Structure 1
Amino acid sequence: MGAGKRIKLHNKSDKPDNVVLSEHEIIFKCEEIQKQLPDFLKEFFAYLKGNVLPRTRLSYLSDIKFFCQYLIDESKLTSAQNIIDIKLQEFNRIKAADINLFLDYCRKYTVEKNNEIIVYENSNKTLARKKSSLSVMFKQLYRAGKVQKNITDGFDPIRVPKAGEREIKALQDDEVMIMLDAVSTGEYLTEKERQYWKKTKKRDKAILVLFLTYGLRLFELQQLNVSSFNFSRGEFKIYRKRAKESVMPLNESVTQVVLDYIQNERADDSNLDDLYKDALFLSLQGKRMTDRQIRELVKKYTSIGLATSRKSGYSPHKLRATAATSLIGRGNSIFDVQALLDHEQVTTTQLYASHKMNVKRDLVNDMEWELERKERK
């Protein structure tokens, strides 16, 4: 970040340094993309900064940069060779049909890189987000008087299954136990995986138990610090979306696995860079674990619980779904679960309440057929 320059924080807020730094990194990425985009979008940049969350802002800007590169590489809508040189009058000539062609292009496209041809295929959910990014941009440009027409009404609809129509993917209780047994014993791991497991098993178990107990979002867990935990008071602190701060109670199993990791496996602070001395979950290199490292860890252990390939393992978000369905299945109030998981709308939590894990299996088991009949004599 910043051409290799190290960031020095002067943090006067109540947030820990790593949370402030993480927010700064997202904003820095946004500003780097903005520098590559045409100047006539400056008012749109200001709109995003004031109206959407930093992570959403980054997604929008990334989509718009991709669209601008598409205009150069795949269309005749601009004569520019670089994104920053695209002219406002060229944007004024863009029609809704051009956007629809772009969205259709995004369904599946290829990129040549390092003597390889990479095929990208996007789901309707991703296409809908790209459409949303462009809709917000063109509406703001129209309101600001930059473009003459509001072309967004002509964008083709993209059907994304409603939340209630989607199959909720979550681990069942017996699959959770198999997964936790695997992280405790090393069973079902390959020989190479066991070499790493011996050094990280307490860390990995603490990560899985925290996900399963609280339904944490990935970034919430990744940003946890040792100082986030107050074991004498039986609580720990997390930072949620929109900079919300939440204090979570500790139960015995979580206290046990986190303390076991801190006291018996986590690297000593004296061997760590100052930047990572307070980080709770560390890589073998002594740095705060990245989102990607945590995703791969979860994918590995959930694949064992599911008895499937490593590639087919679940994401951390599906452990969040596991926590929700397990809590509701144990008779807890929907509103209490909503508060724990930080759902903005209770309708989101209700999806897990209506989800019956074994209903399909029970129905199918009631429809067994006699496949082998005795021969007539």
Structure 2
Amino acid sequence: MSRDAAPARPPSQDAPPFPHADAELAGLAKAWFEHLAGERRVAALTLEAYSRDLRQFLAFAAVHFGAPVSAATLCGLSSGDLRAFLASRRETGVGSRSLLRQLAGLRSFTRYLERNGKPQSAAFAAVRAPKAARRLPKPLTAASARAVASVEARAGDDRPAWVLARDAAVLGLLYGAGLRISEALAIRRSEAPVGERDALRVVGKGRKTREVPVIAPVRRGVEAYLALCPYPLPPERHLFVGARGGPLSPRVIQLAVERLRGALGLPDSATPHALRHSFATHLLGRGGDLRTIQELLGHASLSTTQIYTAVDSSRLIEAYRAAHPRGR
């Protein structure tokens, strides 16, 4: 397999049966995953997490109730049953964010059961979701972000030149335009920001559309990739392709950044998404307006964007303590 190959099939296609559910519920669970993967087009990693979460809950419930779990068992759950499950997960060291995701997945499954004729359990509405501490993003320095998004930082990499140019162009869009990796990989050839085209129309989370400017260095990076790409790219095709000419997998870009972490001496927090954080933090540090940054990032709420004020303030405090004569 090529080093640039896409990840394996979604877990829903080859997952084992649900051993702690009865035959009816196991069939409904399988149908739910097929619905998520097909109609909802849920990401493979999310499917994997939901599959693991549901199995963990069913394993707990089978012991808790002393019998294989049925749809009737789920419908009859009490808030105490659900709190007992959350407490058992806490005892294994699971954090609030994982519990929030697990509750969201279980709610989604019970809603699916309701749409298929099963009564909805009132327990999920009665149990308060655990509060998760808001993690501050970890931006790269401006110099590190520029290096990650440049071809020059890849000197000595034995992959084809067009692949190195492609990776740099994708990461350039993340840092230079604040795109999510999924947004960058969804760009069609006809939408490529090249030449005089200095803006992109992006469809982000919740199908919300926004327009973002694309600065000249980023456009030049895309043009360099297009000049080297060995595959024909008609207007309707994805702009960025994998080693065999198919759509590029996000995992390929994640691996490219992992390689650069070692070469550039960057921390584990240096990821593709950290470039989007760096875009926002560096704009704010240069006097960017929060409302403008909100629009550029495609955040539905200004409160989401405001986490960057905390990041910027902490950096200012660190600089003050390091530089002021009385700061030590």
TM > 0.5: yes
Task: State the AA in 1 paired with 2:248.
Answer: M
Q: Match for residue 174 of structure 1?
A: 143
Secondary structure at the counterpart of residue 224 of structure 1: coil
How far 1:142 moved relative to its partner?
Answer: 8.8
Quick check: 2:147–2:153 contact (8 Å CA) kept in 1?
no
The 10-residue stretch of structure 1 (289-298 or 59-68) with the greater mean CA deviation from structure 2: 59-68
Q: Match for residue 5 of structure 2?
A: none
Task: Summarize the Cα distance change of 1:62–1:132 in structure 2 as closer, same or farther, 3 Å threshold.
Answer: same
How far 1:148 moved relative to its partner?
Answer: 8.5
- 1:242-280 CA-to-partner distances (Å, cap 9, x unmatched) read 3344443332112211111101x21131xx8x9x98222
Q: Match for residue 236 of structure 1?
A: 200
- Confirm or deny that 1:89 pairs with 2:72: yes
Secondary structure at the counterpart of residue 200 of structure 2: strand
Task: Summarize the Cα distance change of 1:217–1:180 in structure 2 as closer, same or farther, 3 Å threshold.
Answer: closer
Task: State the AA in 2 paired with 1:167.
Answer: L
Task: State the AA in 2 paired with 1:103.
Answer: L
Would you say how many aligned residue pairs link Structure 1 and Structure 2?
301
After superposition, where does 1:1-377 map in structure 2 within 5 Å? Answer: 38=25, 55=42, 59=46, 63=50, 66-67=53-54, 70-72=57-59, 75-76=62-63, 77=65, 79-80=67-68, 86-106=69-89, 122-135=94-107, 150-152=122-124, 155=127, 158-162=130-134, 166-180=135-149, 183-187=151-155, 194-196=157-159, 198-229=161-192, 231=194, 233-234=196-197, 235-263=199-227, 265-269=228-232, 278-302=237-261, 304-305=263-264, 307-308=265-266, 312-356=268-312, 358-365=315-322, 366=324
**Within 2, Cα distance between the matches of 1:238 and 1:157?**
32
**Within 2, Cα distance between the matches of 1:297 and 1:209?**
13
How far 1:314 moved relative to its partner?
Answer: 2.2
How far 1:206 moved relative to its partner?
Answer: 0.9
Mark the runs of 5 or more structure 1 residues left unpaired by the alignment. Answer: 1-24, 81-85, 110-120, 370-377
**Within 2, Cα distance between the matches of 1:143 and 1:220?**
31
The 10-residue stretch of structure 1 (194-203 or 68-77) with the greater mean CA deviation from structure 2: 68-77
**Within 1, Cα distance between the matches of 2:112 and 2:162?**
52
**Within 1, Cα distance between the matches of 2:190 and 2:91?**
46
Larger CA Rg, structure 1 vs 2: 1
Q: Which has the higher contact order (CA 8 A, sep 6+)?
A: 2
Task: State the AA in 1 paired with 2:177.
Answer: Y
**Within 2, Cα distance between the matches of 1:360 and 1:286?**
48
Question: RMSD across aligned C-alpha pairs, in angstroms?
Answer: 4.3
- 1:286-325 CA-to-partner distances (Å, cap 9, x unmatched) read 22210211222233335555x246xx25222221111101
**Within 2, Cα distance between the matches of 1:139 and 1:299?**
38
Q: Match for residue 6 of structure 2?
A: none
**Within 2, Cα distance between the matches of 1:232 and 1:175?**
27
Q: Match for residue 3 of structure 2?
A: none
**Within 2, Cα distance between the matches of 1:39 and 1:345?**
38
**Within 2, Cα distance between the matches of 1:122 and 1:334?**
34
How far 1:139 moved relative to its partner?
Answer: 8.0
Task: Summarize the Cα distance change of 1:321–1:304 in structure 2 as closer, same or farther, 3 Å threshold.
Answer: farther
